[in-house]
Copies of this chain bind each other. A is one copy, B any other.
Amino acid sequence: MPKQVDHEERRRRIADAVCGLIDERGLEAATLRDVAARAEVSMGAVQRCFRTKDEMLRFALRHIGDRIADRVRARLLAGPAQSAASALGHAATELALLRAEHRAEARIWLAFVARAAVDPGLAELLRAGYAEPEDLLVRLLAEAGAPGARREARTLLALADGLTAHVLLGRLDAEEAGELLHAHLAALWARTA
**Partner-B contacts on A (CB < 8 A):** 23-28, 106-107, 110-111, 113-119, 123-124, 126-127, 130, 148, 151, 154-155, 157-163, 165-166, 168-172, 176-177, 179-180, 183-184, 187-188, 190-191
Q: With contacts A107-B117, A187-B187 known, is A163 near B169, CB below 8 A?
A: no
Main secondary structure of the interface of A (DSSP, over half): helix
Q: A113-B165, A124-B170, A187-B188 known; 5 other A-B pairs, CB under 8 Å? A: A26-B117, A107-B117, A130-B171, A151-B179, A158-B172
Give the chain B neighbours of A179 by CB distance below 8 A: 151
Q: Cβ of B162 and Cβ of A158 under 8 Å apart? A: yes
- A170 near B127 (CB under 8 angstroms)? yes
Number of copies of this protein chain within its complex: 2
CA distance A28 to B180 in the complex (A): 34
Q: Would B165 and A157 count as touching, CB distance under 8 A?
A: no
Bound form: Cα–Cα A126–B116 in Å: 21
Closest residue of chain B to A110 (Cβ to Cβ) is B114
Taking a contact as CB atoms under 8 Å apart, the answer to whether A180 and B163 are in contact is no
Report which of B24, B110, B180 forms a contact with A154, defined as CB distance below 8 A: B180
Given contacts A117-B110, A151-B180, A165 and B161 within 8 Å (CB-CB): yes
Nearest opposing residue in chain B for A119, CB measure: B26
Q: How far is the CB of A130 from chain B (nearest CB, A)?
A: 6
| Chain B residues, Cβ within 8 Å of A119 | 26
Tell me, in angstroms, the Cα distance from A80 to B106 when the chains sit together.
Answer: 41
Per the bound structure, the CA–CA distance linking A162 and B160 in Å amounts to 7
Q: How far is the CA of A24 from the CA of B118 in the complex (A)?
A: 6
Residues in B neighbouring A157, C-beta threshold 8 A: 162, 166
